[in-house]
Amino acid sequence: MATSKTDPIGSSLRNDELEKLKVRMRIFLILVFLSTLSGCALLFVQKGSMTVGQKQVEAVPTAPSLIGQIEAQEHPRHVVKSGDTLGKISRKYYGNSRYAKAIAKRNKLDPSAPLKTGRVLELDAPEAVVSTRNARMSVTPAFAEKTIGGQTYTIEVSGVGRKDRPKANRAFAKGEYLRFVVKFFAVTGGYATLEVRDVVRYESRPCFKLVCTARSAFPFSSVYTVDEYVESLFDAVDYFPWRFHKKVVEGRYHEDSVVTYDQLKHRATRKKNQDPIKEQNIPPFVQDILSCFYYARLVDVVPGDKFSIPTHAGDKNYEMVVEVLRRETQRVGAGKFNCLVVRPHVKYDNVFQNKGEILLWITDDERRLPILIRSKILVGNVDVELIEARLPKLQP
């Protein structure tokens, strides 16, 4: 049906489409301009290197594990109310009704019999129930409301199970420094670093200070400035974050935000710029967007694995899904490596929106070093390639 000239809805739709087209055209013109400079830009890409320290790093200070205390809160109980069914209870705690029989089995109930009002049902942890179907379930995001330790939170769930929590860290230590070049059409668009800068104390807990930085380089910086600093205080005993700091300049966008995580009470407190403080319920063992990557490096994986990690970003809880696709040899500036190819399903909110898949190459050893990230954008690919690595000698 044709839209009249006075139709405000049709006009709004046309304006939105026009703005999207303008954004895409600007990005395309920027990349075309940069591609014409690729010949000289490539002259300044430094030669890669990788070194491993000769002296072992100091042992990380110990502290009592909080895992048992948190896991004890994960086994909820449900008091049957009038109108309750096993299917409704399954949807409330696990996101869908397919676990009704599992609830009946745990409580020795006849699945076809009505529930008695007032009866207390013992429930398994959501992760334990979901993981039993891990091999057959696909990535189909949906929102679920769950209650843990008296706190109700909403999470975007994938239907993919969790891996067992890692028992030890044989992947990284204080002093690890990784430097990457960011390339668009073989043009150097910027540089990024990942560092394990130190082991610090936070609220009496020993924590790795994880730091990620990213900056645009000339000539890209002349048309779009990027200057990012991201920091996570990552518990060195139980492998989850306590504090997340993000300071970002991307074009005209500026953000300075701090999120503190109370992993025992399942609460996140966020202060962004001059906005009012926000509080939010979070899942047990939640990760931030930086610690999530380091946590994944601690997990034992093989091709064919598909698992999720509870993650918090901005004001949302969701499950980061990780698929391990295959083994492959890959050469980058820092050298040639035997790798695992991984596909993470991530939220990607900036001007270069993710319109396709993101692939990550990690070394096929205990360190699980990231050596290449390849992301599809509106036109072409963005490659983040490891060019320098300074690695500490790990504890045996």
User: Could you read off the pLDDT of 123-163 as tens digits, one per residue?
Assistant: 876 545 544 443 333 445 566 776 666 677 777 777 677 88
| Mean pLDDT on 297-324 | 92
Task: Give residue 134's pLDDT.
Answer: 39
Indicate whether 105 and 240 sit together in one domain: no
Tell me how far apart the 2 most distant CA atoms of the chain are, in Å: 76
pLDDT at 23 over 90: no
pLDDT at 348 over 50: no
User: Between 220 and 312, where is the model more confident?
Assistant: 312
User: Between 271 and 38, where is the model more confident?
Assistant: 271
Task: Give residue 14's pLDDT.
Answer: 56
Look at residue 91 and tell me if it is in a domain.
yes
User: Could you read off the pLDDT of 181-227 as tens digits, one per residue?
Assistant: 998 877 888 999 999 999 999 999 999 999 999 998 877 777 778 89
pLDDT at 174 over 70: yes
| Mean pLDDT on 236-254 | 94
Indicate whether 55 and 109 sit together in one domain: no
| Mean pLDDT on 275-297 | 94
Indicate whether 118 and 194 sit together in one domain: no
Q: What is the C-alpha separation between 85 and 292, in angstroms, rounded? A: 36
Residues spanned by the domain of 289: 38-64+165-298+385-393
Indicate whether 43 and 112 sit together in one domain: no
What's CA 388's distance to the chain center, in Å?
24
Task: Give residue 140's pLDDT.
Answer: 52
Task: Work out how many domains the chain is built from and give that number.
Answer: 2
Smallest Cα–Cα separation from 254: which of 264, 246, 242? 246
Task: Give residue 149's pLDDT.
Answer: 60
Indicate whether 105 and 177 sit together in one domain: no
CATH number at residue 86: 3.10.350
Look at residue 335 and tell me if it is in a domain.
no
User: Could you read off the pLDDT of 323-333 as tens digits, one per residue?
Assistant: 999 999 999 99
Look at residue 145 and tell me if it is in a domain.
no
Q: What is the C-alpha separation between 382 and 228, in angstroms, rounded? A: 17
pLDDT band at 245 (very low <50, low <70, confident <90, very high): very high
Look at residue 134 and tell me if it is in a domain.
no
Look at residue 274 and tell me if it is in a domain.
yes
Indicate whether 224 and 275 sit together in one domain: yes
pLDDT at 341 over 60: yes
Percent of the chain with pLDDT over 90: 46
User: Between 223 and 249, where is the model more confident?
Assistant: 249
Indicate whether 238 and 283 sit together in one domain: yes
Look at residue 149 and tell me if it is in a domain.
no
| Mean pLDDT on 266-286 | 93
Task: Give residue 19's pLDDT.
Answer: 57
pLDDT at 29 over 90: no
User: Could you read off the pLDDT of 55-108 as tens digits, one per residue?
Assistant: 888 888 899 999 988 877 766 678 899 999 999 988 887 777 888 888 898 898
Indicate whether 187 and 54 sit together in one domain: yes
Indicate whether 111 and 52 sit together in one domain: no
The two structure tokens encoding residue 215? 């900056």
pLDDT at 38 over 70: no
Indicate whether 201 and 57 sit together in one domain: yes
Indicate whether 52 and 116 sit together in one domain: no
Look at residue 257 and tell me if it is in a domain.
yes
Percent of the chain with pLDDT over 70: 76
Task: Give residue 187's pLDDT.
Answer: 81
Indicate whether 192 and 87 sit together in one domain: no
Task: Give residue 133's pLDDT.
Answer: 40
Residues 6+ away with beta carbon under 8 Å from 312 = 259, 261, 268, 280, 282, 283, 286, 287, 288
Highest mean pLDDT among 10-19, 297-306, 353-362: 297-306
Task: Give residue 218's pLDDT.
Answer: 78
Task: Give residue 129's pLDDT.
Answer: 53
Q: What is the C-alpha separation between 310 and 292, in angstroms, rounded? A: 8
